Amino acid sequence: MSSLLVLAIVIAIGVVAFLIGRQRAAAHENGTVKPHSRAHYHGWWAFLLAVLPALLLLAVWNVGSSFYLDRHIHAVLPERTADSKVASEALDVSLVKSLSKGLRKLDGNTVLPASFAELQPLLAAKGVALATDTQDYMIPIAIEANKVQDRLGLFGAAVILALSIAGAFYALRQIAPRARARNNVERLMLWGLLAASTIAILTTVGIVLSMLFQTIQFFESVSPMSFFFGTVWDPRFAAAGSGGNQGQFGLIPLLAGTLYIAAVALLVAVPVGLMSAVYMAEYATPKVRSVVKPALELLAGIPTIVYGIFAVVTLGPFLRDLSAALTGGSPFIQGQSIFTAGLVMGVMLIPVVSSLSDDIITAVPRAMRDGSLGLGATRSETIKRVILPAALPGIVGAILLTASRAIGETMIVVLAAGVAANLTINPFEAMTTITVKIVNQLTGDLEFNSPQTLVAFALGLTLFALTLVMNIVALYIVRKYREQYE
C-alpha cells in the first residue's frame, strides 16, 4: 500500500473523528454541568490524536523500510573484491533499486525475460530508461526487493491505520463536560510551534557547521591572513588529479566588488522605492493605488536572468555607446561594469523597498496623522516629522532585506559586471562578487578537497558573517529609534 494512500486514509479517519467528537461534545452542552471546552476543541483533539501519531509512525516507517531494503539488497548481492567493494556495492544497490522501480510499471501479466538485454526494450516502451551497467543477475534481486517492499508497506499500513483508529477511539472516550480538550489542543499547538522554531534554528546551525568544517580544512592549506587581507584573486584552477599550483585567494577584491555593487543598487532602489511608497500610502487616490502598486510589484516577478540579459544586451551597450559619443572617442563606460550591474539590480530591488515600506507606512496609526494635522502641520511636515520616524524601524528592516538580496545576487552580476576579480574605485569598470566566485569554484572537474574548491566554503562563511553584522547594526538602529518614539 502506497504512503500517499495511507496518508489519505489517516486524514479521513481524523476528519471522521473530528465530526463525531464535535457532535458528542455538543450533546453534553445541553446538560446541567457547564462544559470546560467548546465542542470544536473536542473535535480537534480527536483529530490530532488520530492523525499526528500515525503520521509520525508513517515517516519513521518509511525511513526504516528504505534502510532495511538497502540492507536486504546488500545481503543478496554477489561478493566483490576487497579494493572495490564499497563503491561497487553502492552502485549495484542503486541499479537494483532503479530496476525495481521500472518493473512496477510493467503489466502484471508480463513475462519477465531472464536477460537485461531483452528486458530493456519492454521498460523503454513504458518510458523507463535504465543504465547500461545493469546486469542480468539483478533482475531476480529486483523482483524479490519489490516483494519485500510490498510486505513492509502492507504491514506498516496495517500498524499505522490501527494506531490512527486507536487514537481516535481514545480521544472520543475522553469526551466529557469537564474534559480539558482546549488545554490539550493549545498545549499540542505550543509544542508544534516550538518544534517549528527549533527546526529553523537547527537548520541555520547546520548550514553554518557544514561550511565551518570545510573552511577549517581550507585554512589548513591557505593562511587566513593571506585570505582575508590578500588583494589578488588567482586560484589557478587545476583539474582533478593534476596536482596543480595552489594560487592566491585574496578576499579583498571580491568583498569590495560585493559591497560596491550592492551600494550602487541601494542608491538606486532605496530613494525610488521609499518615495514611491510614500506617494502610494499618503498621496495616491485608491484608483491610482490599485493600478500603480500591482504594476510596480510586477517587477519583483521578473526572473533575475531576464534582468541580466537586459543589462548585457541593451543597457550595457547603450551606456558604452553613449559614453563614446560624449567623449568623441573611446568609451569610458565598459559594457560590463559596476554601474551597469548596480543600476539594473537597483531597478529589480525597487519593488522590495516599495512594497515593504508601503505596508509599514500604512500601518502607522491614523491618530498620529490626525493629531499632527490638527496641530497645524502640513501633510509633508507630517510625513517627515511623524510618519517616517514612527515607521523607521520597519523601513530599516526593509532596507536590510534589500541589502541582503543585493549581496546575494549572482546572475545579474555575472552578465552585467563580469567575472573579473578587479580592485578599483571606478564605477565604470568591471568587478565581481563573492557569490559569483562561489559558483565558479564549485563548477568544473576539480578535486573536492583542493583549496580551489574549499575556498567556496570560506567565501560562503564570510558572506554569512557579513549578513550577520548587517543584522546586528540594523537591530541597534531599530532599538535606538524605537526607544525614542515609544
| pLDDT given for residue 76 in this prediction | 79
Other Cβ atoms within 10 Å of 164 Cβ, number? 27
Which of 68-82, 304-318, 445-459 holds the top average pLDDT?
Answer: 304-318
pTM of structure: 0.70
Indicate the pLDDT class of residue 128, thresholds 50, 70 and 90.
confident
Question: Grid coordinates standing for 211?
Answer: 561550511
Give 145: exposed, middle or buried? Use CB within 10 Å, 0-12, 13-18, 19+.
Answer: buried
* Higher-confidence position of 166 and 336: 166
The chain-wide mean pLDDT, for the chain, equals: 83
Q: Helix 3-28 vs helix 39-76: angle between axes, to the nearest 10 degrees?
A: 160
By percentage, how much of the chain surpasses pLDDT 70?
92
Enumerate long-range contacts of 2-7, CB under 8 Å, 24 or more apart: 2/153, 3/58, 3/62, 3/153, 5/157, 6/58, 6/156, 6/157, 6/160, 6/161, 7/55, 7/58
Max Cα distance, the chain (Å): 97
| pLDDT given for residue 58 in this prediction | 92
Average pLDDT of span 448-463: 85
Indicate the pLDDT class of residue 265, thresholds 50, 70 and 90.
very high
Which of 26-35, 114-123, 185-194, 314-323 holds the top average pLDDT?
Answer: 185-194
Q: What would the 3-class secondary structure string for 441-469 be?
A: HCCCCCCCCCHHHHHHHHHHHHHHHHHHH
> CA of 116: how far to CAs of 110, 123, 124, 448, in Å?
15, 10, 12, 35
Average pLDDT of span 189-195: 90
By percentage, how much of the chain surpasses pLDDT 90?
15
Other Cβ atoms within 10 Å of 421 Cβ, number? 24
| pLDDT given for residue 85 in this prediction | 46
Q: H-helix or E-strand containing 72?
A: helix 39-76
Q: H-helix or E-strand containing 432?
A: none
| pLDDT given for residue 441 in this prediction | 81
Read off the pLDDT of residues 85-102 as tens digits, 9 standing for 90 and up: 445 667 778 888 888 887
CA 134 – CA 124 distance, rounded (Å): 14
Question: Grid coordinates standing for 449?
Answer: 578537497
Average pLDDT of span 287-307: 85
Question: Is residue 15 scored above 90 in pLDDT?
Answer: yes
Q: Which of 256, 195, 270 is nearest to 228 (CA)?
A: 256
Question: Is residue 447 scored above 70 in pLDDT?
Answer: no
Residue at grid coordinates 534554528: 201
Question: Is residue 397 scored above 90 in pLDDT?
Answer: no
* Higher-confidence position of 485 and 155: 155
Average pLDDT of span 364-388: 87
Residues forming beta bridges with residue 249, ordered by sequence position: 233
Question: Is residue 69 scored above 90 in pLDDT?
Answer: no
Lowest mean pLDDT, pick from 39-48, 355-364, 471-480: 471-480
Question: Is residue 238 scored above 70 in pLDDT?
Answer: no
Question: Grid coordinates standing for 157?
Answer: 499500513
CA 164 – CA 156 distance, rounded (Å): 12
| pLDDT given for residue 360 in this prediction | 87
CA 159 – CA 166 distance, rounded (Å): 10
Geometric angle at alpha carbon 443, from 440 and 448, rounded to 5°: 110
Indicate the pLDDT class of residue 80, thresholds 50, 70 and 90.
low
